[in-house]
Chains A and B, each alone.
Chain A
Amino acid sequence: AQSVTQLGSHVSVSEGALVLLRCNYSSSVPPYLFWYVQYPNQGLQLLLKYTTGATLVKGINGFEAEFKKSETSFHLTKPSAHMSDAAEYFCAVSERRDDKIIFGKGTRLHILP
């Protein structure tokens, strides 16, 4: 069975500092991996996804993530945090492109002025 573990339910960083949100996954087949962002009282917006090919994936708003099979990780990073990045971030996995998505419990990112 697939699962996702997000380390840290809350992460605080200063504006301009590096953002690092950690995600580990479990999957019996090569996974499809996703990061979604959710702003208060809104739905989910796709930040980036890994399907096949290049392991470093670039997404919207300056975010990127690296798929590391040996570590079963898919950590999300951004070099310089902005106040507008404050939101809930969800790492997710699926087995196939048309399969259900399994989400982690989320990490709330706080940006300190």
Chain B
Amino acid sequence: DAGVTQSPTHLIKTRGQQVTLRCSPKSGHDTVSWYQQALGQGPQFIFQYYEEEERQRGNFPDRFSGHQFPNYSSELNVNALLLGDSALYLCASSSLKVSQVTDTQYFGPGTRLTVL
């Protein structure tokens, strides 16, 4: 059973560019959450997607947007990149199906984004 997968593993961009990160949830999970982990800090919640809709959002600007596909995979898009966007971006999956609600989020290995 594959866990949460993310691609790419590493990415280097320059200021002002746009980036798309991808996440495939654990098998049987329907909910994807994205977190940003700056160097030396704990992860911070960006947003959560369920049934292809943004369900919750943290304190991140509109430059951060996302999408969830019918197969539950998800993308995180960041526009107009800033140096401060350099971080490890973590995806976590869980399930909100009534019959399978989980109280645990399973994390992927992350995508390391460097903005120069």
Residues of A participating in the B interface, judged by any CB pair closer than 8 Å: 4, 32, 34, 36, 41-46, 49, 51, 90, 92, 97-106
CB of A66, distance to nearest CB on chain B (Å) = 19
Interface residue? B28 (CB, 8 A): no
9 other A-B residue contacts (CB within 8 Å) besides A44-B43, A101-B45, A106-B40? A32-B103, A44-B92, A46-B106, A51-B103, A98-B103, A101-B35, A103-B35, A103-B42, A105-B40
Contact (A100, B107) CB under 8 Å given A44-B90, A106-B41: no
A44 to B35, CA, bound (A): 11
Contact for B104 among A41, A49, A106, CB less than 8 A: A49
Counting chain B residues whose Cβ lies within 8 A of the other chain, the interface size class is 20 to 34
A49 to B94, CA, bound (A): 15
- The answer to whether A98 and B42 touch across the interface, beta carbons within 8 angstroms, is no
CB of B111, distance to nearest CB on chain A (Å) = 10
- The answer to whether A44 and B103 touch across the interface, beta carbons within 8 angstroms, is no
A44 to B6, CA, bound (A): 13
A103 to B41, CA, bound (A): 9
